[in-house]
Amino acid sequence: MKKLFAVLLSVMLLASLLPMAMAEGQEPITVTVFRGDPGDQPTEDNKIYKKIEDELGIKFEIEFLAGNLDETLGLKIADDVYPDLFDGGNSAETLENAEVLIDLLPYITEEKTPNLYKHIYTNDRIKQLTTDDGKLYIIPNYGINYNAQIQNYCNGPAFFIQKQVIAWNNYQVPKTLNEYFDLIERFLAANPTTPDGTPYQGFAILCEGWRHFCLINPVQHLMGRPNDGEVLIDVNDPGFHTETFIDKPYAKAYYAKLNEEYHKGLISKDTFVMNYDQYIAALSNGTVLGMFDQTWDFGTATASLETSGMYANTYLALPLVYDPEYVDGKVIEEHYLNGTVMNKDRGFGISTSCKYPERMVQLMETLLSDEWQKTLQWGFEGEDYSVENGRMLMTREQYVNRSDAKWQRANQAKAIWESMPKKQGTMDDGNAWDPGNQPEIYFEQMSDYDKEFYAACGVKKPADFFNAPIELAPYGEAWQIDKAPIDIDYNDFLAIQDRWLPTIITCDPAELDANWDAFVAEITPSATVYTDFMQAEVLKLVEQALN
Amino acid sequence: MSTVTKVQKPTITPKKKKGFFQSLGKQWQLMIMSVPMLLYVLLFNYGPLWGWLTAFQDYQPKKGLAGSAWVGLDNFRFLFGREDFRLAIRNTLAMSVINLVLGTVSAVLLAVLLNEVRNRTFKRTVQTVTYLPHFLSMVIVVSMAQNIFASNGPINQMLLSLGLVKDPVFFLGKGEYFWWLVGVINVWKEVGWNTIIYIAAMTSIDPCLYEAASIDGAGRFQRILHVTLPGIKSTFMVLLIMNIGHLMEAGFEIQYLLRSGLTMKYSDTIDVFALIYSFGSSKPHYSYGTAAGMFKSIVGIILLFGANKIAQALDEDTLI
């Protein structure tokens, strides 16, 4: 018995000594994590998590969203026990309102957390990040750029056209609305069907649910502004004049043009009743020649076209503007690409249940260092990438691995990295933070068709068709403004457009004017409420940003 | 609801007055059998009625039932002040009546036809084929319908090749067609299923009646008219009364899946309306949804009792 006691005592003694051996004398802890998106659990021997555990003494226990986000958050709030690192996904406002997260500002100082301090205080970002009462609950997971922003392609809104149409047109690219539809008309006249006999559809408009931006958003871009949602804002006006554009004469021009094209057979009736799946199916078949959309919205269609080798049917993004004839002879300059918008209120917060908030902030701080960012975004040198003359490079195999879910589970700390504060843009040595943005890698991965296509167009990368991103307006992008205070009017405002715009596009040209007037008359009350609200909100944001 | 009917019916038929507890004691087995159903109804149908309180509040989940502000009838005033809610009531009733009439007529007709078929294999096959769609999810049914009724879908191709129309009919995008489209889809999905109960009722008709009718010289149509149809009348009445009670339930999935901007004025039922207003924005209005649902339930109860009263007055079989 005595012997046993002695052994036990010595084991305990040894055990108490062990943590001392850990870096900076911090005892190992297990941190509970919730992610507001579905995801895959990493493998037990994941190399990045192992490095974090070895060097920082932190092990993660990750829970991914399974089922409905709002219901899951609601249940967690009712339970009153939270994971240490809490990512509320797209409903993180719910967590802030329920006072589940702690204020991070007291933990962030220039001395103790220089990386984080620089991250949120540079360019007065802090003014936009804090709540009305001056608290910071979440550091954005995306949208904070270092050095220059690399833009190889347009991921946002644009008019799209199949590359084969451009190739058919001797690689001449349309720049205005009229040129665009004229090209599709000519192409359709020459090639009414695909080689196997399916008729082409000239122009598709997705109108389903929240994706109706394909129907209601184009006018602002044709007028030369980036995406502000449903309002057109004059950034040169000191008062930031804000107006809804859909009820203005310059919007009528676009829908009248669509009406004309509808009667020429470019637009099918069925486009107004199709759902998202049918839309993606049509795009994936390669039968749709053009549409207005946002690149990320039809990524699955692009992927399936590329997988089946139909590169000629993939899409080129075009920054179209109105022809001068539509806007009193004014020549409009396009501004589709905008400065980066911070993904405010999205990412990890630290919950009130967390017993070691200081250590969590320190974790964010450490992972934000250049070395860790390289590890998290690129992996291990020699294994996941190589360096030649200071440029970070990947072989095709290394790059393809990155999109393999099975490889990711063992070799990336995706679940943590996605919600943590991170560096984007370029490193101080000129390499891109995101390997996908590294120009050498971007071109290396491009299909042969695309390489030839862009060479024939005389550009290096798809983004060269666009003007450089303009400086982000002080209010950010107006579509981010929460419309909760006027939601009933806002819903009316949208529903009236959903109902009227397809009617206007498909009506007899003789009735177009009457229909347009009826539409404007019906939408004016809600549009007025919406305009007043947005004008006030924009001014509020501008004021916050400027002082 | 159907279970309650089955249990209660035999107990009510003798109209003689007996001591309540005396008959209760006699039927104790039946009582025990009905306990699970009773618990089910209490737990899932009466329990949630607490939530109706939120129809009179500006309900905020964070504050809970106790902390949310009471607003009296404001939510109802808001609803009835809105044109889209009044349209939703109209659409609900219109689609319900169309569903009820088309559904009942088609089910009775198919049941009578099947009842006359003598070839068992053929009868079984038809029955199976017609009731299988019942098990399909509405999502699948609607996307099939969207293909079938598309401008270049089979229906339009047929109409065009027969020369019945000059241009394709825009079935999916014309509000006026929406109610009938829903009716037709529902018939296709449910007709086989709805027949089952009528066929069951027909098998319980005494074959002697048919033989007697034949001897009296009744032909096939006369036998249907004077034996089969009267034989299923009581089933028909009970189902009709129950369906009238469900008139405010025109469905939700089919309209939600089939709607588009063009058909909005005809497609949105009270359920769709409640969903959109409850969760449609970053500031959920649970109370509007509850108020709409409560209104729907109350009208449903009134309709049910009304139909029952009328049936009683006509001296027909009734539900209660």
Among A325-329, A522-526, B237-241, the range of highest mean pLDDT = A522-526
Q: What is the CATH number of the domain that holds B219?
A: 1.10.3720.10
Which of B72, B97, B113 is the last residue before a domain boundary? B72
- Residues 6+ positions from A487 with CB-CB distance below 8 Å: B280, B281, B282, B283, B285
Q: Minimal Cα distance from B78: which residue of A?
A: A488
Q: What is the pLDDT of residues A232-266, one digit of tens each?
A: 999 999 999 999 999 999 999 999 999 999 999 99
Regarding whether B179 and B57 lie in a shared domain, the answer is no
Using CB atoms, which residue from A207, A277, A490 is nearest to B261? A207
The answer to whether B61 contacts A274, with C-beta atoms less than 8 Å apart, is: no
- Residues 6+ positions from A58 with CB-CB distance below 8 Å: A28, A29, A30, A31, A52, A359, A363
Regarding whether B298 and B194 lie in a shared domain, the answer is yes
Does the ipTM surpass 0.90?
no
Determine, yes or no, domain membership for B117.
Answer: yes
Which of B46, B72, B98 is the last residue before a domain boundary? B72
Regarding whether B96 and B61 lie in a shared domain, the answer is no
CA nearest to A298, candidates A279, A317, A312: A279
B282 compared with A280, residue with greater pLDDT: A280
Residue A242: the pLDDT is 96
A413 compared with A22, residue with greater pLDDT: A413
Residue A148: the pLDDT is 81
Contacts of B84 in chain A (CB under 8 A): 495
Contacts of B260 in chain A (CB under 8 A): 207-208, 272-273, 498, 502
The answer to whether B151 contacts A269, with C-beta atoms less than 8 Å apart, is: yes
Which of B43, B72, B101 is the last residue before a domain boundary? B72
Which of B281, B285, B287 to mutate against chain A (most A CBs within 10 Å)? Answer: B281
Residue A11: the pLDDT is 58
Regarding whether B270 and B224 lie in a shared domain, the answer is yes
Please give the Cα distance from B47 to B40 (Å, whole number).
10
Q: Distance, in angstroms, between A74 CA and closest chain B CA?
A: 9
Using the Cβ of B29 and the Cβ atoms of chain A, whether some distance falls under 8 Å is answered with no
CA nearest to A462, candidates A319, A270, A282, A250: A319
Determine, yes or no, domain membership for B319.
Answer: no
Residue whose pair of structure tokens reads 């997971």 in the numeric block: A141
The Cβ of residue A228 has, within 10 Å, a number of other Cβ atoms equal to: 25
Using CB atoms, which residue from A270, A272, A487 is nearest to B261? A272
Please give the Cα distance from B271 to B252 (Å, whole number).
6
Q: Minimal Cα distance from A498: which residue of B?
A: B261
Residues 404-433 of A with CB under 8 A from B: none
Confidence of residue A176 (pLDDT cuts 50, 70, 90): very high
Residue whose pair of structure tokens reads 């009835």 in the numeric block: B80
Residue B240: the pLDDT is 87
The Cβ of residue B219 has, within 10 Å, a number of other Cβ atoms equal to: 10
Q: How far from B229 is each of A424, B68, B201, CA to CA, in Å?
A: 76, 56, 10
- Can you read off the two tokens belonging to residue A206? 């997705």
Residue A240, Ramachandran bin (φ over 0: left; ψ between -120 and 50: alpha; else beta): left
Please give the Cα distance from A270 to A289 (Å, whole number).
15
Contacts of B257 in chain A (CB under 8 A): 275
Regarding whether B196 and B108 lie in a shared domain, the answer is yes
CA terminus-to-terminus distance, chain A: 74
The Cβ of residue B54 has, within 10 Å, a number of other Cβ atoms equal to: 21
Using the Cβ of A278 and the Cβ atoms of chain B, whether some distance falls under 8 Å is answered with yes
Residue A7: the pLDDT is 61
Contacts of B262 in chain A (CB under 8 A): 272-273, 499, 502-503
Using the Cβ of A97 and the Cβ atoms of chain B, whether some distance falls under 8 Å is answered with yes
Determine, yes or no, domain membership for B110.
Answer: yes
| b/e per residue B97-116 (b: at least 16 CB within 10 A) | ebbbebbbebbbebbbebbe
Q: What is the pLDDT of residues A356-415, one digit of tens each?
A: 999 999 999 999 999 999 999 999 999 999 999 999 999 888 888 887 888 999 999 999
Give the torsion through C-alpha atoms of A456, A459, A465, A466, to 10 deg.
180
Q: How far from B268 is each of A269, A270, B182, B255, CA to CA, in Å?
A: 21, 20, 12, 7
Q: Are B114 and B123 in contact (CB under 8 A)?
A: yes
Q: What is the mean pLDDT of residues A517-539?
A: 96
* Helix (H) / strand (E) containing A72: helix A69-79
The answer to whether B172 contacts A270, with C-beta atoms less than 8 Å apart, is: yes
Q: Distance, in angstroms, between B158 CA and closest chain A CA?
A: 18
Q: Minimal Cα distance from B175: which residue of A?
A: A499
Q: Distance, in angstroms, between A498 CA and closest chain B CA?
A: 5
Q: Are B316 and B237 in contact (CB under 8 A)?
A: yes
Which of A210, A214, A273 to mutate against chain B (most B CBs within 10 Å)? Answer: A273
Regarding whether B64 and B83 lie in a shared domain, the answer is no
The answer to whether B260 contacts A273, with C-beta atoms less than 8 Å apart, is: yes
Determine, yes or no, domain membership for B156.
Answer: yes
CA nearest to B74, candidates B276, B248, B290: B290
State yes or no: pLDDT of A461 exceeds 70: yes
Q: How many CA atoms lie within 13 A of A479 on its CB side?
A: 15
The answer to whether A270 contacts B282, with C-beta atoms less than 8 Å apart, is: no
Regarding whether B262 and B167 lie in a shared domain, the answer is yes
Residue A18: the pLDDT is 47
| One-letter-per-residue 3-state SS of chain B | CHHHHHHHHHHHCCCCCCCHHHHHHHCHHHHHHHHHHHHHHHHHHHHHHHHHHHHHEECCCCCHHHHCEECCCHHHHHHHCCHHHHHHHHHHHHHHHHHHHHHHHHHHHHHHHHHHCCCHHHHHHHHHHHHHHHHCCHHHHHHHHHHHCCCCCHHHHHHHHCCCCCCCCCCCCCHHHHHHHHHHHHHHHHHHHHHHHHHHHHHCCCHHHHHHHHHCCCCHHHHHHHHHHHHCHHHHHHHHHHHHHCCCCCCCHHHHHHCCHHHHHHHCCHHHHHHHHHHCCCCCCHHHHHHHHHHHHHHHHHHHHHHHHHHHHCCCCCCC
Q: Are A209 and A444 in contact (CB under 8 A)?
A: no
**A318 strand-pairing partners:** A159
Q: How many CA atoms lie within 13 A of B13 on its CB side?
A: 6
Determine, yes or no, domain membership for B318.
Answer: no
Using CB atoms, which residue from B173, B281, B282 is nearest to A272? B173
Phi and psi angles of residue B159, each rounded to the nearest 5 degrees, phi first: -60, -40
- Residues 6+ positions from A205 with CB-CB distance below 8 Å: A214, A215, A258, A267, A271, A272, A291, A292, A505
State yes or no: pLDDT of A474 exceeds 70: yes
Number of domain units in chain B? 2
The Cβ of residue A510 has, within 10 Å, a number of other Cβ atoms equal to: 7
State yes or no: pLDDT of A418 exceeds 50: yes
Phi and psi angles of residue A33, each rounded to the nearest 5 degrees, phi first: -130, 135
Determine, yes or no, domain membership for B238.
Answer: yes
Regarding whether B45 and B147 lie in a shared domain, the answer is no
The answer to whether A491 contacts B264, with C-beta atoms less than 8 Å apart, is: no
3-state SS, residue A143: coil
Regarding whether B91 and B3 lie in a shared domain, the answer is no
CA nearest to A118, candidates A343, A368, A442: A368
Regarding whether B212 and B274 lie in a shared domain, the answer is yes
Determine, yes or no, domain membership for B235.
Answer: yes
Give the torsion through C-alpha atoms of B14, B18, B20, B24, to 10 deg.
-60
State yes or no: pLDDT of B7 exceeds 60: no
Confidence of residue B6 (pLDDT cuts 50, 70, 90): very low
Residues 63-102 of B with CB under 8 A from A: 84
Determine, yes or no, domain membership for B82.
Answer: yes
DSSP state of A324: G
> What is the crossing angle of helices B286-313 and B83-116, to 10°?
50
Regarding whether B112 and B204 lie in a shared domain, the answer is yes
Contacts of A502 in chain B (CB under 8 A): 173, 260-262
Give Cα B248 distance to the centre of its chain: 9
Regarding whether B95 and B35 lie in a shared domain, the answer is no
Domains belonging to chain A, first-starting first, are: 21-147+342-390+407-429 (3.40.190.10), 157-336+468-546 (3.40.190.10)
Domain hosting residue B280, numbered range: 74-313
Q: What is the mean pLDDT of residues A66-91?
A: 82
Residue A471: the pLDDT is 86
Q: What is the mean pLDDT of residues A418-445?
A: 91
State yes or no: pLDDT of A505 exceeds 50: yes
